[in-house]
Chains A and B, each alone.
Chain A
């Protein structure tokens, strides 16, 4: 069988809860973001060396940290944008972590999710950072503008504020185009077109949206992977937009528990991984249908989704795996962290032959 194997290469136990792990691009290092038991933020940089993770930096931040991204910084600088439990968003330079490069009180409540675009040579246009918070707002920041977000997306007056659980940038194929997707705890998925500053598409998936990801940020939007509670995840085909039906989507189940995270392989956008509340990792492959759109009777075009096949299912632990990140430099190398205070470097083999 040519099935890829999923193996744990390094397992590192921590004394704090890591909520997010990210590879530092162009390096064999990773950064782990979390919170100490006493409520202060933990930020640690590890380097892979000979079968083990060596701790390079250990920084304690004043408040517990929730999420981070390198998405908006250049390859030379590789500043990390982090969101903390009090709603502060900071961009820090890992070489001198005590002094943030940028700092702003972004939200009044915990920043649940953060995403960056136009850094790391991915995406075109101005580098921006999007944050989604429990206060129901989604804000877009530019590190050149102090204190004020460039875009604020908020519920209308009188509408109930729903916690925003996930944000994702996409469609950044030109300097003007950009799309931001936000997923909320009631199952809402909203897509905003930042060029025209309008809501492009809304949908409800009936379960809280744990994670969102476009298959690629820097191409015309192609697919959107959405993972939700109750072991479901969806793939929307974004190529064809129908004014009534919106986007075509498929639904699949896995993990028999909350699907926490869905991440596409940077080297191949049809392969993605989902992580579950039962501590398992599932590898999937998407295949396109013969025709990606079909014409309806009234002449309008509607999209057609393909199918997704599971390639592998591996249980690594008994606790939920809440964060996963593929290494952008080595295909098959990944890191994940879970509620069991462990970070694991996971190897997936045979991806090139899949």
Chain B
């Protein structure tokens, strides 16, 4: 909404009302006509401007902006002003408050034309020399300014280069993510620059993102098919992705373009000899938890690597690839050690898209088997070891199991542990199934396993006791792990102070299970009394006992009766008994 006031300063005044109304009408008509014209023109104008705009934008993009006559940047000057005064007439020549950074070339005094005496003394050569010096200085200064003036990096290509430099700086300082960001920005600005994707690929390689690195190398090579580094980097990525053949092709390509390229030669040799090298790791294959018959293993090891037809039986292939990777990796690792500051990083990629490549860090990894029933092994199933994270105390107490050949981690032979565990095993249900109990402890039957080839036993035996818990939650967890092994549980309980339970917050089941262990003989009546009293003092106890069923209450009664032998806590035990009686 808007109002229009019509000013009429010194303008036509209406004579008669009739005239004025006519005039008004005419004005209104004129106004609306003018507006209509304007608006019509406006739509056309909009369309025109869109075209012009786009044209200009395209021009900006395509233009290799050569600064035609870019005026030099002003040299810095500081100008001081005073406020509030109404000083007029400050003519520049009188009031120069400038700080000239500029040239203070002394001009020699001009000799007047009629001063013949002076002219006689005038030395032409020196004057010439000095004047040419002056000119040079002026030129130098302007050149300096010119060089200092960084022409506006509005050109996208230049900006892309600047981003590349920034990215390189980040790369060399190790900030790879930032480097990648800069390269990406540069690539957005200038998609024709082949260096940017190549550099980004290198950063990805360092970050072990081999698929991304390979993609970047592909991009780069599309832009510049002769870019050696891109081939090398792609080969590295491919090796780490398991694409050995393609990697070999890349190295060969490099050698085509640069026959003297040492890196390519070396890597190519490695890749090719990896096939030939007799795997010391053939034994490793046995350790894999696969169903492989002995004769299959031997045949597999003899077959050459590059035979694609082997990919019939997935089992074999996986096996073979495991070996390949393992072999390849060992050789490469060795090479890396020999190399000094080698460019190539032989880092095993943990997550690979290709299912063929196996996590080589765990050569003893368990793999699924897919074989028809009549081909499966007749041996009984071996139990799978589950690695249990042990505490320091437990490590010290019970050293780890068996030495596994070929792995770099040293393990102590633990026959004693095996012996120790036999009695506890005897209690347990020794089923032949591939079971491990919920606790995740090692349930290897020592009688069955052969010591020299026990990949499962590489994990620690969880004969380790957890340390004294600090919170009731920790206690509950540890207890649940141990509750099946009564002796362990008892030992664990013993290391905990009874006082702990006064502030412990346990649920009913855990409570009952703890109290039931108190029943065993290994805990003396005194200790049992201490524990049970501690429990009774805990906050949740009264609530818990309200919800106990008969058998659980019996457990408590048993413990109480055991404690009644103990004299020192008599009154308290009796109180507890009364409490229980009241509840039931």
Interface residues of A (CB under 8 A from B): 1, 3, 5-9, 24, 26-29, 47-50, 75-79, 93, 95-96, 99, 101-102, 118, 125-126, 128, 140, 142-146, 148-157, 159-162, 175, 184, 186, 188, 190, 192-194, 196-204, 242-246, 309-316, 329-330, 332-333, 347, 349-350
Contacts and interface: CB of A to CB of B under 8 A. Distances in A.
Given A8-B2, A242-B89, A150 B83 contact: no
A76 B90 contact: no
B119 interface: no
A184 B83 contact: yes
A4 B527 CA distance: 105
Contacts of B307: none
B42 A330 contact: yes
Contact of A190 (B35, B38, B70, B81): B81
Contact of B89 (A47, A75, A153, A246): A246
Contacts of B49: 26-28, 329
Q: Which of A75, A99, A186, A198 has the most chain B CB within a 10 Å cutoff?
A: A198
B97 A198 contact: yes
A8 B83 CA distance: 41
B353 to A, nearest CB: 32
B154 A126 contact: no
Nearest to A24: B53
User: Which 5 A-B pairs have CB atoms at the shortest separation, nearest pair first?
Assistant: A243-B89, A27-B53, A126-B71, A76-B60, A196-B92
A194 B92 contact: no
Contacts of B83: 155, 159-162, 184, 186, 188
Nearest to B188: A96
A192 B81 CA distance: 10
A159 B60 CA distance: 46
B87 interface: yes
A102 B154 CA distance: 9
Contacts of A76: 56-57, 59-60, 63, 65
Contact of B81 (A118, A126, A128, A199): A199
Given A76-B59, A99-B159, A313-B5, 15 more contacts: A6-B4, A7-B2, A27-B50, A28-B45, A78-B60, A155-B80, A155-B83, A161-B83, A162-B84, A198-B98, A201-B88, A245-B88, A310-B9, A330-B42, A332-B38
Contact of B88 (A3, A8, A202): A202
Interface string B72-87: 1111111111111111
B531 to A, nearest CB: 59
Interface string B409-445: 0000000000000000000000000000000000000
B455 to A, nearest CB: 53
Nearest to A94: B57
Interface residues of B, number: 69
Interface string B42-69: 1101100110110011011001010000
Nearest to B71: A126
Contacts of B52: 26-27
B41 to A, nearest CB: 8
Nearest to B11: A1
A245 B499 CA distance: 98
B121 to A, nearest CB: 37
B27 interface: yes
A75 B56 contact: yes
Nearest to A150: B74
Given A142-B73, A144-B151, A202 B90 contact: yes
